[in-house]
Amino acid sequence: MSRDRVGDNASVGHGHGGGGHHNGGGGHGGGKLRYKHEDSEFSEDGGERPRGGANKGGGEGRHNSKGGTQPAPPQRGGGGPDGDGDDGGSDAVSGGGVLIGGRRGAAPGLTAGKGGRLCVNGKELLPSHTNMTKFMVPFALWELTLVVIFAVSFVRLQGMQASHVIYRYTRVRMAALLLVSSVGEPPDAMAARRALLTAELDNLHSEYDTLMYGGLAKTQAGSVFTHPVPASTFESASFASNFFREERCFRWDQSQCYTPDSPYYEVTHHGLDVMMRRILAEMSLLAEDADADVAYNGTRYTTMYMVGTKDLYEGLQSSAQLFVDFSIDRYSQIKLLHTVLLVITIVFFVLYGIFLLRPYGGAVEREAGRLAGLLSHVPAEMDVAGHVRQTRGARYP
C-alpha cells in the first residue's frame, strides 16, 4: 500500500483571516493534509474521502492567528454533517480506509466475505491456488509412493508358507519303525501301530500333493492359518527340477551314492518325486500286510531304510533349503524397497526445504521488508500506539 503526501510539508490554508472556522467539505480554506491511497484519500482529522467524492466526515479545520490550520479534535458524537449523532469515522470505514471507532462502533477491520473469504478494510483476500498446489502436490506424490511400496511388499510376502513335508515324512518313518518292531506283541498293539502308520501316510499324501500342486492340506482344516499354499512346482524352477528333472544322487556325501549296478540306483537318481512315490507305495503296502508278514528285514521296510534314510531325507532337506533361500531373497527385495523408500524420503524433504520452503521464506521476508518500508512513511498522526504511550506517560508518570 503506497501513500504519498500531497502538497508541501505543512500546507497552510489560504483562509480568510485567522481563527475562523471553515467547512472541510472541499473549500480551499480548510488547509488539511491529505494522503492518497490506492483508491481513497485520508485527511488529518481521521476521516476518509473517496476519490472524486465529497468528504462525508465531520472534521473541520481551524485557522490560527498566523494563517495556518490545525486539525480538528476527534468528535465522539454528533459530528456528522447531518447532525444525526453519527461520527465521521463510521462512514470512513465504508470507504475502505482507516478504521476509527465512533459512538456506535466502527465495523471490524477483519470481516468475512463471500464463501468465507477474508476481507480487510473492504479488500477481499483471495487464496493462491498455485501456491497451494505447489506445496501439496509433492506430499501427495510422497504418500502415493508409500502406498505403492507397502502394497508391493504385501503382495511379495503374501502366500509364503514353509512346507511340513519333511516333518510328516519323519513321522511316517517313526510309525513304520514302531510297526515292524512290534512283531510278537498282542494283536491290539499291532493294530494300534498299523492305525498310526495309516493316519500318518494319509497326512503325508495330502501335504505332499499340496506342496506340489497348491491348495489346502487336510491337516489345515480347523486351524487358524487356512490360506491356500502356492504350488511349489510352478513357483520355483529349481524346486521343480529337484523333484522331477534331476538325474543325480541327492546325498550330501557323494562318495556313498549307489552305483549303477545297485538295485536302488534307478530310484535314487531320477528326482525326489520318484523316491517319495516309491516310499509312499511301500509304506501303504506295509500297513496292509498281515501281522505275520510284517518284518524288520522285509522288502517293505528295507526299501524305506535303504532309500528313505539317506537319499530321500537329505534330498528333502536340500529342497527345504531352496525355500529358505527363496524366503531370504523375497525379504531382501522388500528390504531393498524400504531402503529406497528411506532414501526417497530423505531426498524429498531436503529438496522440499531447498526448492519450496526456502524460496517461500525468502519471499515472505522480502514482503515483510517492503511492508516495513511502507510503514516507515506513515505520518506520525497515525501512530496510535505512540499516542497511547505518550498519553499514558503524561497521565501516569
Provide the 3-class DSSP secondary structure of residue 197. Answer: helix
Please state the rounded mean pLDDT for residues 229-235.
Answer: 79
H-assigned helices in 158-251: 165-180, 187-213, 232-235, 237-240
pLDDT band for 394, please (50, 70, 90 cuts): confident
Contacts of 74 (CB under 8 A, 6+ apart): 45, 46, 87, 89, 100
93 plus 185 within the same structural domain: no
Position 163 scores a pLDDT of 61
325 plus 197 within the same structural domain: yes
pLDDT band for 90, please (50, 70, 90 cuts): very low
pLDDT band for 233, please (50, 70, 90 cuts): confident
161 plus 297 within the same structural domain: yes
Q: 289 lies in a domain?
A: yes
Position 257 scores a pLDDT of 95
209 plus 296 within the same structural domain: yes
pLDDT band for 148, please (50, 70, 90 cuts): very high
Domain boundaries, position 338:
156-354
Cell of 105: 462502533
Q: 32 lies in a domain?
A: yes
Position 147 scores a pLDDT of 94
Provide the 3-class DSSP secondary structure of residue 36. Answer: strand
Q: 373 lies in a domain?
A: no
Q: β-strands 61-63, 21-22: how paired?
A: antiparallel
320 vs 89, residue with greater confidence: 320
pLDDT band for 177, please (50, 70, 90 cuts): very high
Q: 15 lies in a domain?
A: yes
174 vs 62, residue with greater confidence: 174
pLDDT above 50 for 103 = no
Structural domains in the chain (count): 2
224 plus 292 within the same structural domain: yes
Q: What sign for the dihedral angle of Cα 282, 287, 288, 289?
A: positive
pLDDT above 60 for 358 = yes
Position 40 scores a pLDDT of 43
174 plus 320 within the same structural domain: yes
102 plus 160 within the same structural domain: no
Mean pLDDT check: name the lowest of 5-9, 127-131, 310-314, 356-360.
5-9
206 plus 349 within the same structural domain: yes
25 vs 375, residue with greater confidence: 375
pTM, two decimals, is 0.52
176 plus 86 within the same structural domain: no
Position 120 scores a pLDDT of 77
169 plus 303 within the same structural domain: yes
Contact between residue 64 and residue 21 where contact means Cβ atoms under 8 Å apart: no
54 plus 165 within the same structural domain: no
335 plus 204 within the same structural domain: yes
